[in-house]
Chains A and B, each alone.
Chain A
Amino acid sequence: MARRTPVYEAHRGLDPRWTEFSGWEMPLSYRSIAEEHRAVREHCGLFDVSHMGEIEIRGPEAGAVCQALTVNDVRRLAVGDGQYTLLCNERGGVLDDLILFRPGVEHYLLVVNAANTASDLAWIRERAAGRAEIRDRSAELALLALQGADAEVALRGLTPLDLTSLRPFGLAEGLVAGLPVVVCRTGYTGEDGFELLVEAAAARELWDALLAAAMRRGGLPCGLGARDTLRLEAGLPLHGSDMDASTTPLEAGLAWVVKLAKGEFVGRAALAVQAEAGVERRLVGIQLDEPGIPRHGYAIRRDGAVVGSITSGTRSPTLGSFIGLGYVAAGTAAPGTPVEIDIRGRLLPARIVARPFYRRVREN
């Protein structure tokens, strides 16, 4: 039986198309993916992402534990900051990607992928038991994402928090719609936006308030379908699809997250060797010259030879073109390189392109 988020009944009232994702029964779309996608790009959209996991690490050693288990430099986090980071195994393979927040001096919070929550927790406990207090808060917390250029204006009317001074990846605790919430300036859409952590019991009330505020700004409730097309346009990899334990962050284009100079951490030795030797394959953006959906596993060819494979793809609702992500041999990874995608036996011309496919225009 699929799990349901604390906002399930609110979704049911909106009669969405459902999908099962990592064992969760989640809205795929409420209207159409394209409309929801457009709402986020032009105004704002509200997503229930309560299926994601929250792991809390507390204690005097909490910072050291995070530093030893994640690839980014935790010392850069002041209280109230967050950072994008990864859990890697000893071979440098990506176990998960996550946001690491520091809500308090000796208090860290990892927001992780739903599919990996249990394995992340086990991995962390195996390596840090006795050094810090590790708690799975996933069932107690809901996570709602308000995303889009108008997200700040929409949220402003609901909270006394100073949102303008909340920087990307920062968090602030306060009241939203009268409910105690942790507001994070994070997201997965390529737009400005917020993710709000709230106790499960208050999630429905927060959802209703955020949805009303979003809709006053031309926003819509958005499902996992739009979440996927938005993140793809933004060139953001999805763990389990575009990277996993068999790929390294250097191959996945995430070298900027890996701070080899910070000192010892799990996976460092293997990643240092790979950084020195160079990678053999790279995750790249792919743009098709003819219509067709590149799907996970489809071969990428150059001059007849297979040079890689697609990891995800879609029709870009913003660009109207067909885009994908995939790994190709390092020699084929330069933007502009012509390739062919084998779509069920049909070879479609395509090009390697720079990520992101879509970049928001900053208004100030």
Chain B
Amino acid sequence: MMEFPEDLRYTKAHEWLRRKGPEAVIGITDFAQDALGDVVFVELPAVGTQLTQGQTFGVVESNKTVSDLFAPVSGRVLAVNQVLRDEPERVNEDPYGAGWMIRVAPSRNEEIESLLDAAAYRAFVASEQKT
């Protein structure tokens, strides 16, 4: 059963964002990990990198394919999930938890407001699956 946690915000590129006080944690959705298949490598930016909303910040590779990661919001990278370097399968096992990718300091709060909520993302995924 595909999960769409209510407390997260989403992008049409299938990233999620969780607000944690002034910070935000970012990863890819359950739908994305399922579509990719076994994740075997995640390339993440260096801490301190300045992200721009909609620009690529990394790459996720599965056995089948290579996929860019797009920044849901602009901001500075505060931390990256080092565990994924040796255990990329965490992205498949727990996409909203242990499979998180980066923690950022968002520079524009209105960007967060522009992201999809769970219901809108769920509807978007349903429309994608029909085509």
A interface residues (Cβ-Cβ under 8 A, vs B): 17, 19, 28-29, 32-34, 225, 228-229, 291-293, 295, 314-315, 320, 322, 344
Q: What residues of A have a CB within 8 angstroms of the CB of B37 in the complex?
A: 17, 28-29, 33, 225
A344 vs B58: C-alpha distance when bound (angstroms) = 12
Contact B92 A293 (CB under 8 A): no
Contact A293 B38 (CB under 8 A): no
Tell me the chain B residues, 88-110 only, with Cβ under 8 Å from chain A. 88-89, 92
Contact A344-B41, Cβ < 8 Å, known A291-B85, A320-B86: no
A138 vs B6: C-alpha distance when bound (angstroms) = 51
In the complex formed, the residue of A with least CB distance to B61 is A293
Contact B43 A314 (CB under 8 A): no
In the complex formed, the residue of A with least CB distance to B35 is A17
Contact B38 A33 (CB under 8 A): yes
Contact B40 A314 (CB under 8 A): yes
B interface residues (Cβ-Cβ under 8 A, vs A): 37-38, 40-41, 43, 59, 61, 63-64, 66, 85-86, 88-89, 92
Instruction: List 5 interface pairs A-B (beta carbons < 8 Å), by A numbering.
Output: A17-B37, A33-B37, A314-B63, A344-B59, A344-B66
Q: Ordered nearest first, which 10 A-B pairs have the shortest CB separation?
A: A315-B40, A33-B38, A293-B61, A293-B41, A32-B38, A225-B63, A291-B41, A34-B89, A17-B37, A33-B63
In the complex formed, the residue of B with least CB distance to A32 is B38
Of A19, A29, A293, the most chain B CB neighbours within 10 A belong to A293
Additional 15 contacts, C-beta under 8 A, given A29-B38, A314-B63: A17-B37, A19-B64, A28-B37, A29-B37, A33-B37, A33-B38, A34-B38, A291-B43, A293-B40, A293-B41, A314-B40, A315-B88, A320-B86, A344-B59, A344-B66
A301 vs B61: C-alpha distance when bound (angstroms) = 22
Contact B41 A292 (CB under 8 A): yes
Q: What residues of A have a CB within 8 angstroms of the CB of B43 in the complex?
A: 291-292
In the complex formed, the residue of B with least CB distance to A28 is B37
Q: What residues of B have a CB within 8 angstroms of the CB of A229 in the complex?
A: 63
Of B43, B86, B92, the most chain A CB neighbours within 10 A belong to B43
Q: What residues of B have a CB within 8 angstroms of the CB of A344 in the complex?
A: 59, 66
A292 vs B66: C-alpha distance when bound (angstroms) = 11
A315 vs B88: C-alpha distance when bound (angstroms) = 10
In the complex formed, the residue of A with least CB distance to B42 is A291
A17 vs B39: C-alpha distance when bound (angstroms) = 14
Q: What residues of B have a CB within 8 angstroms of the CB of A33 in the complex?
A: 37-38, 63
A346 to chain B minimum Cβ distance, whole angstroms, is 9
Contact A322 B63 (CB under 8 A): no
Q: What residues of B have a CB within 8 angstroms of the CB of A225 in the complex?
A: 37-38, 63
A344 vs B61: C-alpha distance when bound (angstroms) = 12
> Which residue of B41, B85, B92 contacts A32 across the interface (Cβ within 8 Å)?
B92
A19 vs B35: C-alpha distance when bound (angstroms) = 12
In the complex formed, the residue of A with least CB distance to B59 is A344
B39 to chain A minimum Cβ distance, whole angstroms, is 9
A94 vs B55: C-alpha distance when bound (angstroms) = 44
B64 to chain A minimum Cβ distance, whole angstroms, is 7
A308 vs B68: C-alpha distance when bound (angstroms) = 26
Q: What residues of A have a CB within 8 angstroms of the CB of B88 in the complex?
A: 315
